[in-house]
A = this chain, B = another copy of it.
Amino acid sequence: MAAVSHSRENFADQLITVIRKKNSCVVVGLDPHFNLIPDATKHKLPVSQKQGLEYAARVILEFNMQVIDLITPLVGIVKPQIAFYELYGWWGIWAYAETIKYAKQKELLVIGDVKRGDVPSTAEAYADAHIGEVHIDRMIETPFAADAITVNPFFGTDSMLPFLQTAEKHNKGIFVLVKTSNPDSGEFQDLMCGGKKLYEIIAEKTHAWGNGLIGKQGYSAVGAVVGATFSHEISTVRSIMPAAYFLVPGYGAQGATARDIAHCFNPDGLGAIINASRSILYAYTMSPWKEKYGMNAWKDATREAVVKMNDEIRKILNS
């Protein structure tokens, strides 16, 4: 762990506080799939609103609010994936913004899974939009106000600076894509570049980017996205960036198990948050919940899926 360099709580400190409070390092991915949202949620809307993109967006928001109410006693972090909101146009982005607002009312930490990245002036706009603020004449607005976002490092250091600076200024976090969870992630990320793989070089850079943003608990506000599906790579990245929090996708529907993610954690039991999306939100469509609960009892399925995931990860941490 690096030395403490900040007196106020950085994003990692906030993360550790909520993890301890809920005794859970699970991140529930709020990824709306309209066709999988239970009928009862859709029937709640008045017929006048059952029109196209607005209808879908209102259903999604209603579903998200129900999910948030359900999981708030069990987990402290949610991660809306913005792609599944963009799919419904600006109405979808309205639902995304309202979802974040609702989650924060419930004192959840919100990671906006936006994977943005662009040249410096454009990156600045993304940073201001998602974790910063915008000045309009004499007014100041915080457009999305997530607590942290995911970012794509492809452009290099100059294009990361706006994210780093905005995170520092507003006490927010960023998670840099280091090794993604998809099967073909190795195509570029595992290329050997002068004795090291590209993802290792990105891990080293990300470690350097995060060095100035270490919090009271020794963790940086600059974390890394590392796919749970690659347990060997996780160990490598862990050793390169001991002070980074890992956001680990791929648990559940993408096939990774609790054993795969054991190497994400530091000896202090901290350093990783584990995401599952479909396997929790739509647990009622999957075994064993499918057989036990029907669509009408989807809340019981979702609740049990979270409890089970919490238990599995606690077991790993205690073994």
Which residue of chain B lies nearest to A193 when distances are taken between CB atoms in the complex? B191
Q: Is A23 close to B, CB under 8 A?
A: no
Q: CB within 8 A of A89: which of B55, B97, B125, B156? A: B97
Q: Is A187 close to B, CB under 8 A?
A: yes
Task: Give the contacts of A184-198 with B (CB-CB under 8 A).
Answer: 184-189, 191-194, 198
Let me know if A189 and B154 touch, CB within 8 A. yes
Majority DSSP secondary structure for residues of A touching B? helix
Q: How far is the CA of A87 from the CA of B92 in the complex (A)?
A: 16
Residues of B within 8 Å of A147, CB to CB, are none
How many chain A residues touch B (CB < 8 A): the figure is 68
Let me know if A126 and B86 touch, CB within 8 A. yes
Residues of B within 8 Å of A116, CB to CB, are 83, 115
Q: Is A152 close to B, CB under 8 A?
A: yes
Let me know if B181 and A119 touch, CB within 8 A. yes
Residues of B within 8 Å of A154, CB to CB, are 152-154, 177, 180, 188-189
A89 → chain B, closest Cβ, in Å? 4
Let me know if A122 and B81 touch, CB within 8 A. yes
Let me know if B182 and A87 touch, CB within 8 A. no
Q: How far is the CA of A90 from the CA of B144 in the complex (A)?
A: 9
Q: How far is the CA of A89 from the CA of B191 in the complex (A)?
A: 37
- Apart from A53-B141, A88-B134, A188-B201: 13 A-B pairs, beta carbons within 8 A: A31-B122, A83-B118, A83-B123, A86-B130, A87-B129, A87-B143, A90-B96, A119-B180, A154-B189, A155-B182, A156-B182, A191-B198, A193-B193
